[in-house]
């Protein structure tokens, strides 16, 4: 196994590859890192020339040609937004994702009103999916690897890779929290490290129903976005979202440790 690291998107990415030799692994990792850097330029709201900036500058009726990557990430955003009843929304301020009109065939975007996008809740997972295309493509043809976006989202192939819940909940729960994944993504989100930093976009407050959430999904983008949305979903909505996105969702109840004797703090939805 060969491991390489790279800082981008305000985190540290890791590429772990089971390859024939170091040179192949290094070349594959560098190709992934180059792709991540290019995506950051295209999708970052902090880059004045990014597609996000272009879309923000549109007036109603104006049309902009954007990259294929921007269209692809918007398609996943729409998918997760629909599956979570609007709990995931990549727009900021007005929360008006429906005002964005996407021409997927010609990579064109128009707006019905001013739209500000922030891919912070999905971008890292999407970047991992793009790296998967590189690793499994004709040039490298690698199928035993792990991609890590700062430990919050992990995408794997081969293995099996033992992945699971970390932090205090690992010791508090009595249910199985370690999955041996051979393909797919695991993502986690919550209040443990950054406090109440995640918005419940439907209520407009920095306060969520659950303390932590984790999602296992077929790809990184869905896992990344879903784990953010899951924090504010009701139990019935969690079941519906998991079913719609072919995912499994684990959430941590907001309860004191003494309550753990009476009910497990973690609950699976699938």
| Ordered structural domains, the chain, with CATH | 1-45+121-150 (no CATH), 51-117 (no CATH), 152-269 (3.10.520.10)
What does the alpha-carbon distance between residue 255 and residue 196 come to, in Å, rounded to a whole number?
Answer: 16
Is the peptide bond prior to 84 cis by the omega test (within 30 degrees of 0)? no
Q: Decide if 136 contacts 28 (C-beta within 8 A).
A: no
Q: Decide if 1 contacts 18 (C-beta within 8 A).
A: yes
Q: What is the CA radius of gyration of the chain?
A: 19
What does the alpha-carbon distance between residue 14 and residue 151 come to, in Å, rounded to a whole number?
Answer: 9
What is residue 133's predicted lDDT score, i.e. its pLDDT? 98
HEC states along the chain?
Answer: CEEEEEEECCEEEEEEECCCCHHHHHHHHHHHHHHHHHHHHHHCCCCCCCHHHHHHCCCCCCEEECCHHHHHHHHHHHHHHHHCCCCCCCECCCCCHHHEEEECCCCEEEECCCCCECHHHCHHHHHHHHHHHHHCCCCCCCCCEEEEECCCEEEEEEEEEEEECCCCHHHHCCCCCEEEEEEEEEEEEECCCCCCCCCECCCCECCCCCCEEEEEECCHHHHHHHHHHHCCCCHHHHHHHHHHCCCEEEEECCCCHHHHHCCCCEEEEC
* Sheet strand arrangement including 63-65: 63-65, 108-111, 100-103
Digitized pLDDT (tens) for each residue of the chain, 270 residues in all: 899 999 999 999 999 999 989 999 999 999 999 999 999 999 999 999 999 999 999 999 899 999 999 999 999 999 999 999 999 999 986 678 889 999 999 999 999 988 999 999 999 999 999 999 999 999 999 999 999 999 789 999 998 999 887 777 888 888 878 789 999 999 998 765 454 556 677 766 666 789 899 999 999 999 999 998 999 999 999 999 999 999 999 999 988 998 988 998 899 998
What is residue 164's predicted lDDT score, i.e. its pLDDT? 82
What does the alpha-carbon distance between residue 173 and residue 33 come to, in Å, rounded to a whole number?
Answer: 36
């Amino acid at each position: 196994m060969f491991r390489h690291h790279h800082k981008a998107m305000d985190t540290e990415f890791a590429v772990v590859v089971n390859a024939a030799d170091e040179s192949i692994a290094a070349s594959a990792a560098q190709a992934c890192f180059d792709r991540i850097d290019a995506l950051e330029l295209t999708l970052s709201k902090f880059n004045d020339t990014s597609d996000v900036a272009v879309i923000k500058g549109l007036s109603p009726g104006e049309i902009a040609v954007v990259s294929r990557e921007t269209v692809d990430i918007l398609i996943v955003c729409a998918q997760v937004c629909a599956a979570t009843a609007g709990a995931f929304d990549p727009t900021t301020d007005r929360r008006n994702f429906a005002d964005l009109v996407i021409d997927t065939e010609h990579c064109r975007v128009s707006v019905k009103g001013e739209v500000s996008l922030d891919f912070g809740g999905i971008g890292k997972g999407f970047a991992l999916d793009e790296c998967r295309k590189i690793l499994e493509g004709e040039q490298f043809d690698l199928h035993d690897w792990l991609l890590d976006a700062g430990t919050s989202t992990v995408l794997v192939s081969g293995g099996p890779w033992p992945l699971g819940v970390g932090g205090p909940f690992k010791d508090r729960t009595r249910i199985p929290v370690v999955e041996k994944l051979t393909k797919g993504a695991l993502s986690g989100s919550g209040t443990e490290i950054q406090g109440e930093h995640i918005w419940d976009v439907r209520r407009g407050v920095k306060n969520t129903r659950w303390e932590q959430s984790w999602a296992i999904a077929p790809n990184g983008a869905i896992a990344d976005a879903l784990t953010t949305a899951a924090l504010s979903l009701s139990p019935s909505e969690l079941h519906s979202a998991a079913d719609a996105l072919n995912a499994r969702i684990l959430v941590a109840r907001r309860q004191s440790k003494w309550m753990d004797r009476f009910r497990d703090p973690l609950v699976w939805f699938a």
